[in-house]
Structure 1
Amino acid sequence: MRAARVRPTSPEGTPYGFPGNVAPSSAIEIHDDVPKPQISKPGELLVQVKASTVYKDNLEWNELYPPSHATLGNDFSGIVVAIHDSEQDFHVGDHVYGMTHANRGGAWAEYAIVTTEEAVKKPDNLSWEEAAAIPGSALTADQALFRHVGLETTAAGNGGQKRVLITGAAGGIGTFLVQFAALAGHHVVAASSSNEQNESFLRSIGAHEVVDYKDFGALDKVDVVVDSVGFQVLADCWNVVKQDGGTLLSFDACSWGYREAHKEQGISKGKEGVRALYMIAEPSRDSMARITEHVEKGNIKGRVAKTVSLNDVREAYESAHSRGLGHGKIVVLI
C-alpha cells in the first residue's frame, strides 16, 4: 500500500530524535510498498483511510521516533474494512472518524489500524474532508477545557461560569476552544495576532471579547488561560491569569517543560498561586461522543482550508507553518 513515512536517520546516518535532532520535512517520503496492516487483537479495526490532516508540529513529537520508519497522520476518516471476531460495536462498512494515539500515527496511508477507543461513527452531515478536520483539534479543546482545567460543561445558571482567555483563538484548535467554552456558558476572551483579520470571525463563533496580544496589559484578569501558541505569548499569560487560584494550561509542543522552567528560574510574585498545566490529547470515545453531538446539532463543523494529495504531504507540512490558510485545516486526501 502507499503511505507517507519519516526516514529514521539523516542522509549521513545520524538518527533523528526530539529535541536534539528533529527530522526535517525532507525526511517525509512516499513509499508504495508498505505492507498492509493486519488486525492482531481485540479492539482493533482496519480502516480504509479516506482523509487525514497535517499537524504543523508533527515532526517535533517525541513519540514519532521509533527505531524504524514512522507513518505520520493521526486524524482520520474512512471505512471499516475488517474487524476482530469479538467486535460488536462496529461492522464492516461503517463510516468512522477519529484520532489515533500520538505514539502510533498511521493515517497518512491507504489503510490504518485504529482502536475502538479511537473511532466513532461519522455523522452523515460530514464529508470525508470535514470529518478528518475535526478530531485532533476538537479532542484537544474538549480535554483541555473539561478534563484538565475542569470547567463546567453547563456553566450557565449554576454559578460555575468562568472568564476564559484562549490564545491562538483563530487557529485550528483555538476555534474549537472558543466554541466549546462559549457553548458551555463561559465568558470567552479570544486572543490572536490580528483583531483586524480575526475579530468578526471569532465573535461569530462565540467569543465575547476579542483582544490582540499586544493589548494583554489592558485585560481584566481571567480565571483560566488556555494557550495554544507558546513562546512569548505563553510568558505574557502569567500576567493575565488571576494570581490567586487561576489556571494556566498550554499544549503547544514548544511549551513542554514550561512549568519546570519557571520553577528553576524562581517563581515571581503571584505565580505560586497559579495552577500551571501541560497536556497532550489522547483518543477518547467519551470526548468524541460530545463532539459528535455538537456536530449533529450543527453547533460545530469541520473547516477545511485546502486539500492535498498524499503525494504532496511534504509540501503541505511546510505550508502548515505559514500564514494565510484561513480558519481551517490542511486535509490530505488518501
Structure 2
Amino acid sequence: MKAAFINSYGQFDQIKIGDIDRPEIDDHDVLIKMKAASVNPIDWKMVHGDLKALIKLKFPLVLGSDGAGVIEEVGAGVTEFNVGDEVFFRCDKANIGTFAEYFAIPANLIAKKPTNMSFEEAASIPLVGLTTYQALKEKAGMTEGSRVLIHAGAGGVGSFAIQFAKAFGAHVATTASKKRFVLLAELGADEIIDYQSQHIENELNGFDIVFNTLGDSVQEPSYKTLKKGGVLVNVLGIPEPLVVAQYTSNILVKLISHINQWRKEGLAAKYNAKYKHLLMYADGKQLREIADLIEAGKIRAIIDSTFPLAKVKEAFERSATGRAQGKIIIKISD
C-alpha cells in the first residue's frame, strides 16, 4: 500500500512516499481503508524528532495521527462496528500512521463519522476535538457560564474550541489578528482580542479558564486575566511528571519534568491560579460525544487547505508557517 513515511529524523525532505506492507489486525482491531487524514503540529514535530525522548517509535515511521475512512475488516472480538461503517479516530501515540491507504486500530479508539460531514471534514476533528474536550472538561472543569480565554482562535484547535465551549454555554474570549475577526465572530466568540495591537491582561479579567495553545510566550499575561483559583491548561511543552512516567523510565527526562512542573506551578501560585498540562489521549467514547454535537449543528469543520498524499511535505510546510486558518487535510482516496 502507499504511505508517507520517514526512515530517520530530520527535515521535511526526509519524507518519502512509497509502498509498505498492509497492516494486519488483532481480535479487537479494525482495518480502515483511509479516506482522509489531517495535519497536526505533532506530525511534523515527529519528523524533527522533537518527541523522541518521550515516545519511542520504530523506522520506517509512517506519519499521521488521526483521520477518517471505511472499515474494511473487523477482528473476531469486535462487536460494535461492522465492515462498511464510516468512522473517524485519533490513534494512540505509540501507533501512528494514518497517512497511508490502510490503518489498523483498536476498535475502542474509533467512533462513527458524523453523518453531516464529509470524510475530509471528519478527518479534521479527532485530535483537535479530543484535545479541547480533555483540556476544557477534564482538566479545567468547564461548565455552563464559565468564562474561557482560548488563545489562537483561528487555528485548528482554537476554531474547534470556541464552538465546543459555546455549545456548553461558556462565555468565550479569544485572540487573533484582525483579518480573522469575522470568522471568529461566526464561530461564536464573545470577545476577540487583536494580539498585534492589544494586550490580553489589559482587556480581560475575571476569567475561570485559559486554554493555552501557544506556550510560554503568553503564560504570564494569561494568568493576569484569571480570577483567584482560575485554571490555565497548557497543551505545549513538557508534560506533567505522572504522564512522563507512563512513557519513559529515563531518569533525566523525569527530573526535567519535575523541575518544569515545579516552575510552572510556582508561577501559577504567584497569581493565585492553577497550572495544568494536557498530553491528549485517544478515546472513542469522547469522540462519540463530539460527533453528537456535530450532528446537532453545534460544531462545524474549518478547513484551511487540502493536499494529496503525494504532497505531505508541502502540507507540513504550510502547517509550520503557523498561518493556517483551521485544519490542513491529506486526501488519501476517493
Percent sequence identity is: 29
Q: Using the alignment, how far apart are the partners of 1:263 and 1:24 within structure 2? A: 33
Match of 1:78 in 2: 69
Mapping of residues 180-329 of structure 1, within 5 Å: 180-192=164-176, 194=177, 196-213=178-195, 214-218=198-202, 219-242=204-227, 244-252=228-236, 254=237, 256=239, 260-261=259-260, 263-264=262-263, 267=266, 270-271=269-270, 273-325=272-324, 327-329=325-327
**Secondary structure of the corresponding residue to residue 199 of structure 2:** helix
Count of residue pairs brought into register by the alignment: 307
Match of 1:3 in 2: 3
- Opposite residue 36 of structure 1, the aligned amino acid is R
Match of 1:333 in 2: 331
Taking structure 1 as the reference length, what is the TM-score of the superposition? 0.85
- Tell me how far 1:267 sits from its aligned partner: 3.3
- Tell me how far 1:175 sits from its aligned partner: 1.2
Query: Does the CA-based 8 Å contact 1:78-1:128 persist in structure 2?
Result: yes
Query: Does the CA-based 8 Å contact 2:160-2:301 persist in structure 1?
Result: no
Match of 1:90 in 2: 81
Match of 2:38 in 1: 53
Note closer, same or farther for the CA distance 1:131–1:72 as it changes in structure 2 (3 Å cut). same
Segments of structure 2 that go 5 or more residues without pairing to the other structure are 241-256
Which is further off, 128-137 or 210-219?
Answer: 210-219
Match of 1:12 in 2: none
2:30 corresponds to 1:39: no
| Structure with the larger helix share | 2
Which is further off, 95-104 or 62-71?
Answer: 62-71
2:155 corresponds to 1:168: no
Query: Residue deviations 1:248-287, cap 9 Å, x none?
Result: 11102x4657984373499358437321111111111221
Which structure is higher in RCO with an 8 Å CA cutoff and minimum separation 6?
2
Segments of structure 1 that go 5 or more residues without pairing to the other structure are 9-15, 17-22, 156-160
- Tell me how far 1:54 sits from its aligned partner: 1.0
Q: Using the alignment, how far apart are the partners of 2:114 and 2:164 within structure 1? A: 19
Note closer, same or farther for the CA distance 1:264–1:146 as it changes in structure 2 (3 Å cut). closer
Q: Using the alignment, how far apart are the partners of 1:295 and 1:186 within structure 2? A: 17
Query: Does the CA-based 8 Å contact 2:303-2:327 persist in structure 1?
Result: yes
2:126 corresponds to 1:135: yes
List, as ranges, runs of 4+ consecutive aligned residues in structure 1 with deviation greater than 3 Å. Answer: 60-65, 254-270
**Secondary structure of the corresponding residue to residue 117 of structure 1:** helix
Note closer, same or farther for the CA distance 1:5–1:221 as it changes in structure 2 (3 Å cut). same
- Opposite residue 45 of structure 1, the aligned amino acid is V
Q: CA RMSD in A?
A: 2.2
Mapping of residues 152-163 of structure 1, within 5 Å: 152=143, 155=144, 161-163=145-147
